[in-house]
Amino acid sequence: MMRVAVVVLLFLTDGALCKKVCSYQDVVDYLNLTRDNSVYKLTRPVLDYTHPTTVELDILLYAILAVIEKTQTFIPFIWATMMWNNERISWDPAQFCGITKISVPHDMLWKPDLFIYEMIQKDDSPQNPYMIVSYDGTVISEEDMKVVSTCKMDVHKFPFDTQKCNISVGSAVHSVDELRIYPSSNSSRATQFSREVMKTQGEWEFLHLSVASYNFTFDSKQWEQLIYTFTMKRRPLLHVINFLLPILFFLCLDLASYFISDHRGEKLGFKVTVLLAISVLLLILNDILPSMSNKTPLIATYCIVIFALMLLSLLETIFVTYLMEKDSQANLRIGDDWEDKQEKVKIDNSNTEDKRPTGCSCICKVPDGEKQHELLPVAEEVDSIMQTGESHVLLLILEELKELQKTANLHLSCREEARRSYHWATRINRAFFIFYLVVVSTFLSLIFMEWNS
């Protein structure tokens, strides 16, 4: 019994001691995969040069960092996964304790020279230093990239616009005969995965990611591209609150200014202030929109038309104010003429009164001892003088009455002219207000229908 136990123990011990221990380095040594070995990194990894290398590419949108309309720049953060086959790499997992994958540094193996055509700035995001290599020669490279790319944007419906920006991926050296590019995921799957991994979108709402293949001929060779199209819609709430509504409020204030009296100067100053406020908002809009566009942005049309209507309203107010001032000047001139006539009448009356006492003083200064027959010629002479003075006064009064009649006629004519001016000013103001209201309502309806289409 003891011998049997010893035999079993020896058998188990020998089995434990004979168990094989493997490491990733064994696989690397087996492949002779070193930094100095140029076989794996200098040339395209095929045993027959007529066999093209097939690259499967998958791009997912991780974040929308910025969309700059002024410079036509689209900045996404993407996950790019490339997978291809290296025909010089293979091993039997059974010989290496079932190891099927190893990770090696990027600079130890050949990589496809894929680049982004729209990229305008070097990527400065941290790079993944390793690649995954499988036992059958499949190599997988994953990279996180901040792509600063150019994008042709249509800002016609800004801020209710939808933008489509492309990222075209292709080889700079290898044509279709040497390198083929295929998408790993179709459009629906790429869109779904992008929505699941997306962290931030900013003011944009991601809608769709489509994938398409495109071939073109250059220098007698055919080249292949994969075009990823990112479709996104702007969230317009911020621009509506900060831009569209203030302009609409200023327009309402300009309409409300028609209820201010035209006799005062506050209406004109109020309209000028509102017009200056619109000018400031136009300067802000100039910093947002690009300098060149295929179509005039609707928001620019919206601002310019409102600015023109308010300018026309200001000119109408200036004209109506001129008519009102003409009425006031006519009344002031009539009042001045009336005061001058009154002063002249007072002066003439005072001169007449000064003349009358002179004749009386002559009568009163006659001595009491004069004879009666001597007084009679003097009295007759005084009577004739007084009659002459009264006729002169009557003539003066008649002349004054004629002058007063002329002044009254002038006053009536000026009054009638002023009344006609005020009547025309009121009619012009009322008609322009109705026209202004109709034009504004029609224009706003058309512009908002265009935005919603």
Q: Do residues 193 and 253 both lie within one domain?
A: no
Q: Do residues 312 and 365 both lie within one domain?
A: yes
Per-position DSSP letters for 201-214, written without gaps between them? -TTEEEEEEEEEEE
Taking CB atoms within 8 Å and a gap of at least 24, the contacts of 426-433 are 428/316, 428/319, 428/320, 428/323, 429/258, 429/262, 429/316, 429/320, 432/313, 432/316, 433/255, 433/258
Cis geometry, peptide bond prior to residue 159 (ω within 30 degrees of 0): yes
Q: Do residues 151 and 141 both lie within one domain?
A: yes
Do residues 223 and 171 make contact, with C-beta atoms less than 8 angstroms apart?
A: yes
Q: Do residues 140 and 168 both lie within one domain?
A: yes
Domain count for the chain:
2
pLDDT at position 89, please?
A: 93
Helix (H) or strand (E) holding 447: helix 372-452
Boundary residue ending a domain (198, 218, 235): 235
Boundary residue ending a domain (206, 235, 264): 235
The boundaries of the domain holding residue 410 are 237-453
Q: Do residues 43 and 157 both lie within one domain?
A: yes
226 burial level (CB within 10 Å; 0-12, 13-18, 19+):
buried
400 burial level (CB within 10 Å; 0-12, 13-18, 19+):
middle
pTM beyond 0.85: the answer is no
Tokens of 430: 């009322």
Mark residue 219 as left, alpha or beta (left: phi above 0; alpha: psi -120 to 50; beta: remaining).
left
Q: Do residues 415 and 288 both lie within one domain?
A: yes
Residue 449 forms part of a structural domain: yes
pLDDT at position 207, please?
A: 94
Distance CA 345, CA 294 (A): 79
Helix (H) or strand (E) holding 227: strand 221-234
Q: Do residues 298 and 188 both lie within one domain?
A: no
Within 10 angstroms of residue 64's Cβ, the number of other Cβ atoms is: 22
Q: How many helices (H) and strands (E) does the chain have?
A: 8, 12
Residue 3 forms part of a structural domain: no
Boundary residue ending a domain (235, 268, 295): 235
Q: Do residues 218 and 246 both lie within one domain?
A: no
**Of the candidates 46, 81, 57, the residue with the CA atom closest to the CA atom of residue 181:** 57
Helix (H) or strand (E) holding 276: helix 266-288
Q: What is the pLDDT of residues 67-79, one digit of tens each?
A: 988 888 999 999 9
Distance CA 274, CA 250 (A): 6
Dihedral of alpha carbons 138, 139, 142, 147, sign:
negative
Residue 57 forms part of a structural domain: yes
Distance CA 409, CA 60 (A): 91
Q: Do residues 86 and 127 both lie within one domain?
A: yes
Report strand pairing: 138-146 vs 73-85.
Answer: antiparallel
Look up the CATH number of the domain holding residue 70: 2.70.170.10
Residue 4 forms part of a structural domain: no
Q: Do residues 215 and 287 both lie within one domain?
A: no
Q: Do residues 309 and 381 both lie within one domain?
A: yes
Q: Do residues 186 and 332 both lie within one domain?
A: no
- What is the residue-level pLDDT of the chain in tens, covering all 453 positions? 444 444 444 444 444 444 577 889 999 999 988 888 888 888 899 999 899 999 999 999 999 999 988 888 999 999 999 999 999 999 999 999 999 999 999 889 999 999 999 999 888 888 889 999 999 999 999 999 999 999 988 888 888 999 999 999 999 899 999 999 999 999 999 999 999 988 888 889 999 999 999 998 988 889 999 999 999 999 999 889 888 999 999 999 988 888 887 666 678 888 888 888 888 888 888 877 776 666 788 888 898 899 999 999 988 888 888 877 765 555 555 555 555 555 554 555 555 444 444 444 433 344 444 444 444 454 455 455 455 556 666 777 777 777 776 666 666 555 555 566 667 777 888 888 888 889 999 999 999 898 887
Per-position DSSP letters for 114-129, written without gaps between them? EEETTEEE---SPPP-
pLDDT at position 358, please?
A: 45
Mark residue 207 as left, alpha or beta (left: phi above 0; alpha: psi -120 to 50; beta: remaining).
alpha
Q: Measured in whole angstroms, how far is the alpha carbon of residue 294 from the centre of its chain?
A: 17
